[in-house]
Structure 1
Amino acid sequence: METPPAPQFDPIKYKQTTHDQWQTAAEAWHRWSPTLNQWLGKATDAMIDMAGITTGHRVLDVAAGAGEQSITVARKVGSTGYVLATDIAPAILEFAQQMARQAGLTNIETKVMDGENLTLPDASFDVVISRVGLIYFPDQQRALTEMLRVLKPGGKIAAIVYSTPDKNKFFSIPVSIIRNRAKLPPPLPGQPGPFSLGGEGVIETAFTQAGFKNVQAVRIDSPLELPSAAECVRFEKESFGALHQMLSSLSDQEKESVWDEITKELKNFESENGFVGPCEMIVAVGEKA
């Protein structure tokens, strides 16, 4: 009797699911912008510094989401600079546009675009950034080579990704509990996900393989600080689309039971000073020759 073929990762289905997740989570992701800013602010500042973003630069933000970091960059490049914020989900970019209007910025535009197929001219940007986006691309090499293509010679790429599960327990514990309760198999080889670029030297190798030079990466302690574990669960429940996808096979009652178990486990990171969720980000930078 023949062994059935191992299940294969379906990038097309995955991409459609990702689009749908972010269409649904867009409002929540935008609403949690102050939390995102506080949590990822240090890593975002490092990304901007390492990329050498300055006045007059043209910057492409791939998988920009609600665009909170795009706004920061737009302020940095000033009126002579330009930021194009792209994402696969139109709904989330509407919030980026709204934030730009509220900030009175006219040097930022948004465009629905697949990061693996950038409909942009060659050598048209000084810097490409991606904050917690590259990890979810089905074909990370294709995305990176596209980013390389649209960069001017000497231009830089800078990306923020999660490091390893053991350093990101605020996220890896919920993933582990859901995987166990929903009886999900381990991720398939090549499957994207939060920790897909977090291992030692993995993102550096990916950048080098795509053709970037002078690649370097730093690890930045980025604790998620909230009033309570329950508030962390609310944040994840409302705006982490990937977790909802993992839960989709469970009944509403089972889902609530899973969230209760997650809350219980995350209470280990609670003290009289509130909740501090362990998180470590990697900021990686590379240069086009």
Structure 2
Amino acid sequence: MDLDEYRRESKKRWSRVASGWGAQRDRLWASTAPVSEWLVGALRLSSGQTVLELACGPGDTGLLAAERVRPGGRLIATDAAETMVALVQERAEQLGLDDVDGRVMDAEWLDLPTASVDAAVCRWGFMLLADPGAALRETRRVLRPGGRVSLAAWAGPERNLWSSAIGAELIGRGLMERPGPGEPGQFAWADPAVIATQLEDAGFVDAEVETLELSFEYPSLDDWWDVQLDLAPALAETVTGMTPAERDDLREALDARLAEFVRDDGSVVLPAATRVAAADA
């Protein structure tokens, strides 16, 4: 894998789907709020502190942290995609949070002084980076002594069919490639031991890793399909390139795969699982 090319394409893809993430914000928060609560709680925040959010996406976790460090605190919300940072700033204004500093920044090269933040959080971002080890080392560098980091990374695909089902079907049809060992991907950090090792290798200590169970609910399988294409840039690009007949065949296979999760009224509840971790700088 050409990591520089991966970085360029990743930035383009996430920039294109920012509007989808903004549109789905409330729905996602309904399912994922417990994860953000765990991550922010693990930081042990107090008023007046500075919090850094990495690969912030729509920024809901960082904004939760921003509320916890008031008065006098500050959130630095960073993402490589400018459109994602714009989402955070817009939401901060809606919430009346004037202590949010949104910056376009790659997590692997943080344009921040050494020992300048009290805590750092990254929800489902590190495993997607070209060099997550570099990002963690940078995170360690900018944290003050005694600072905390918390992160989330998805458990395996078999425990996250809400997200993995489409990709697995496309891989099986030869339309997408499965990430190789050590390559970035949604489930690259599914193993808790990988997370602990990454944290330790970056210089963090006393790492703790837990697993949280959650679920995603949709009014119908059609709605689930639309949401996935809103949120996942690689999937959306692949599906867009298929013929109508190919898409229909794909949907038929996916509907059969997920039939057991469809309730009598047509709504769908899909289980999910994520790792959450925290450590000291």
Band of TM-score, shorter chain: over 0.9
Aligned structure 1 segments of 4 or more residues deviating by more than 4 angstroms: 245-249
1:26 aligned to which of 18, 42, 57? 18
Structure 2 residue 171 is the aligned partner of structure 1 residue 179: yes
Structure 2 residue 279 is the aligned partner of structure 1 residue 286: yes
Query: Residue 253 of structure 1: CA displacement?
Result: 4.8
Alignment size in residue pairs: 280
What SS does the aligned partner of 1:233 have? helix
2:219 aligned to which of 214, 227, 235? 227
1:13–1:250 Cα change, 3 Å: farther
Corresponding letter in the other structure for 1:95: L
Q: d(CA) in 1 for partners of 2:149 and 2:176?
A: 34
Query: Residue 225 of structure 1: CA displacement?
Result: 1.8
Correspondences of 1:82-93 after superposition (within 5 Å): 82-93=74-85
Alpha-carbon contact 1:136-1:192 (below 8 Å) kept = yes
Corresponding letter in the other structure for 1:165: P
**Structure-2-length-normalised TM-score:** 0.94
Q: d(CA) in 2 for partners of 1:175 and 1:208?
A: 31
Query: Residue 134 of structure 1: CA displacement?
Result: 0.8
Query: Residue 255 of structure 1: CA displacement?
Result: 4.0
Query: Residue 215 of structure 1: CA displacement?
Result: 0.2
2:32 aligned to which of 26, 36, 40? 40
Alpha-carbon contact 1:79-1:107 (below 8 Å) kept = no
What SS does the aligned partner of 1:281 have? strand
Aligned to 2:231: 239
Aligned to 1:60: 52
Query: Residue 281 of structure 1: CA displacement?
Result: 0.9
Corresponding letter in the other structure for 1:22: W
Structure 2 residue 43 is the aligned partner of structure 1 residue 51: yes
**Structure-1-length-normalised TM-score:** 0.91
1:86–1:278 Cα change, 3 Å: same
1:279–1:55 Cα change, 3 Å: same
Alpha-carbon contact 1:182-1:250 (below 8 Å) kept = no
Q: d(CA) in 2 for partners of 1:264 and 1:238?
A: 22
Structure 2 gap ranges (5+)? none
Q: d(CA) in 2 for partners of 1:54 and 1:90?
A: 29
Query: Residue 249 of structure 1: CA displacement?
Result: 5.6
Aligned to 1:141: 133
Greater shift in the superposed pair: 244-253 or 46-55: 244-253
Query: Residue 141 of structure 1: CA displacement?
Result: 0.5
Corresponding letter in the other structure for 2:106: D
Q: d(CA) in 2 for partners of 1:181 and 1:10?
A: 24
Query: Residue 77 of structure 1: CA displacement?
Result: 1.1
Structure 2 residue 65 is the aligned partner of structure 1 residue 81: no
Q: d(CA) in 2 for partners of 1:69 and 1:110?
A: 14
Greater shift in the superposed pair: 140-149 or 180-189: 180-189
2:195 aligned to which of 191, 203, 228? 203
- Per-residue CA deviations over 1:82-135 (Å, capped at 9, x if unaligned) read 001000110121111111111111011100000100011000111010011111
1:242–1:57 Cα change, 3 Å: farther
Correspondences of 1:144-155 after superposition (within 5 Å): 144-155=136-147
Structure 2 residue 160 is the aligned partner of structure 1 residue 168: yes
Q: d(CA) in 2 for partners of 1:200 and 1:77?
A: 29
1:71–1:225 Cα change, 3 Å: same
Q: d(CA) in 1 for partners of 2:163 and 2:102?
A: 29
Aligned to 1:99: 91
Structure 2 residue 120 is the aligned partner of structure 1 residue 120: no
1:186–1:240 Cα change, 3 Å: closer
Structure 1 gap ranges (5+)? 1-8
Corresponding letter in the other structure for 1:276: V
Alpha-carbon contact 1:230-1:263 (below 8 Å) kept = no
- Per-residue CA deviations over 1:150-208 (Å, capped at 9, x if unaligned) read 00001011001101112112112211001122443432232100100011411111111
Corresponding letter in the other structure for 1:211: G
Query: Residue 245 of structure 1: CA displacement?
Result: 4.5
Structure 2 residue 103 is the aligned partner of structure 1 residue 111: yes
